[in-house]
Structure 1
Amino acid sequence: MFALIERKKQRKFFFEQNRDQIKNKVAHGRGDHLEILSWFSMCEDQVQNSFNHTLKKISTLISQKTAALFQMSSKSIRCCRGIGREK
């Protein structure tokens, strides 16, 4: 596991040092093995970050909507308790 993390760090470092050259080579089908791996590693990180951000947004929206529904239902229950009672 440690070796995988270390290799990913190396690919990221390599990519950061040679970003423009790698983008051009990979885009034109001339990238070597390390360049292609570093490119896909960066794409993977970007997708993962985007996915995590989207999940956080969805979670926040669900929490907000659930809280609003709970608040509305508790108001409705309080309102309905008074209906039908004789004074």
Structure 2
Amino acid sequence: MLPNACAFFDLYGSMLAIYEDVGRHVALDKLLGWHAKSGKPRGFILASSRASYEMVQKTVACGVEMLVHDFCRNGFSSNNGRKHNLTLIGFC
């Protein structure tokens, strides 16, 4: 198992896809590629890493409405998410 994973869940909580990689950005890129090819289903992303400013930007650009991650968000990520109506859920 690789150290970083990103999964996509539908609105009912069913996991539709999961991608892993050594880099957290690459894992997200793989998932967002799947999301685009799958017709952009509604749901949310669960990431096993902190949500950087760039990860928030990518998520917003792809039309995903919620990003859940396992580290507390930083100010830049939080402000960017709020600006674009992205729900960010972070936990420690």
TM-score (norm 2): 0.23
Larger Rg: 1
The structure with more helix, counted as a fraction of residues = 1
The structure with more strand, counted as a fraction of residues = 2
